[in-house]
């Protein structure tokens, strides 16, 4: 399997079997809704922090495979990180998809599969929507 096929596989797996999908109706979660009118993507992200650490991330919404799978990958990437590391990862993800000063030494885990999105400007917003929402929540306090 070549790298592109592997990357597509990760995206399709996360699209068909999204992780951490469905919002929580509990205290301690901060919620943000963002949409991407150019594609019709809508996403809501919830983050629960305890003592500066991200203990849970939830996602819900609808949209294209890039947007929905990226939200799934984002939740798995950020759970367990402290806010500082989460911020660095979000920033690096946005740099990666926008092709702006991406640090390829940083371990991006599964999120690396969105590296190819930079070749498709129309999909950059799809891939980054959930990550932008997470960044806004984390930095709002």
Query: How far, CA to CA in Å, does 16 sit from each of 7, 51, 82, 95, 141?
Result: 14, 33, 29, 26, 33
Residue nearer to Zn ion on the CB measure, 70 or 92: 70
From residue 34 to residue 73, the character string flagging contacts with Zn ion as x (rule: CB under 5 A) and all else as - is: -----x-x---------------------xx--x------
Q: Is position 97 an interface residue for Zn ion (rule: CB under 5 A)?
A: no
Torsion sign across C-alpha atoms 58, 6, 64, 126: positive
- Residue from 45, 86, 126, 127 that binds Zn ion (CB under 5 A)? 126
Residue nearer to Zn ion on the CB measure, 54 or 129: 129
Binding site for Zn ion (CB under 5 A): 39, 41, 63-64, 67, 126
């Amino acid at each position: 399997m070549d790298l592109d096929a592997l990357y597509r596989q990760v995206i399709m797996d996360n699209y068909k079997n999204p992780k951490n999908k469905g919002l929580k109706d509990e205290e301690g979660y901060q919620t943000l809704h963002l949409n991407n009118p150019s594609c019709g993507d809508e996403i809501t992200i919830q983050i629960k922090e305890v003592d500066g650490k991200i203990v849970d991330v939830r996602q819900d919404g609808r949209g294209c495979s890039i947007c929905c799978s990226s939200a799934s990958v984002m939740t798995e990437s950020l759970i367990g990180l402290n806010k500082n590391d989460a911020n660095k990862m979000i920033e690096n993800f946005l740099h990666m998809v926008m092709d702006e000063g991406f640090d390829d030494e940083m371990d991006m885990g599964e999120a690396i599969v969105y590296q190819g999105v930079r070749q498709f400007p129309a999909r950059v917003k799809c891939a980054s929507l959930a990550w932008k929402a997470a960044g806004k929540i984390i930095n709002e306090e």
